[in-house]
Amino acid sequence: MTDNLVSFEAEIISLTEIRSRVIWPHAEGPWIDGAMEDLIVHFTYAGWTAYNLRCALSMALTSRDETLGRSISDLLTRMVSSMGAVQMAEIHLTPGAKEELKRDRIDP
């Protein structure tokens, strides 16, 4: 992980079953289990942390339900935009591709 990046990761199973964590330079937070409102609070914390550390914010969302994953991704993207983000990119991966990235230790 780079020194100028705060990463927000979430695994979305349903609107009431979501795991998320924040990884910042030189530290890694625990996985937080919760529902949609917990995801929003945790994501806001990640954005605020990135802002205070003067780091870029990276977001990685995974979901087996493509429609649900895209809906939550769109919601969080709109939140980032409203916070004043100036540059954004989006990459969609299948679950197999994500596992391959983890296995090969390729950082996004």
Cβ atoms of 60 and 108 within 8 Å: the answer is yes
Q: Which fold has domain 5-104?
A: Nucleotidyltransferase; domain 5 (3.30.420)
| Helices within the chain (DSSP H only) | 36-53, 66-82, 95-104
Mean pLDDT of the chain: 83
Task: Give yes or no for residue 56 having a pLDDT over 80.
Answer: yes
Please report the pLDDT score of residue 33 as a whole number.
Answer: 95
User: What pLDDT score was predicted for residue 108?
Assistant: 46
3-20 pLDDT, tens digit each = 788 989 999 999 999 999
What digits encode the pLDDT tens for the residues 61-82? 888 888 998 899 888 888 887 7
Task: Sketch the domain layout of the chain as residue ranges.
Answer: 5-104
Residues near 51 by Cβ (< 8 Å), separated by ≥ 6?
A: 83
Provide the percentage of residues in the chain whose pLDDT is more than 90.
31
Residue-level pLDDT at 11: 93
Residue found under tokens 């929003």: 40
pLDDT at 103: 73
Longest CA–CA separation in the chain, Å: 35
Q: What is the pLDDT of residue 107?
A: 52
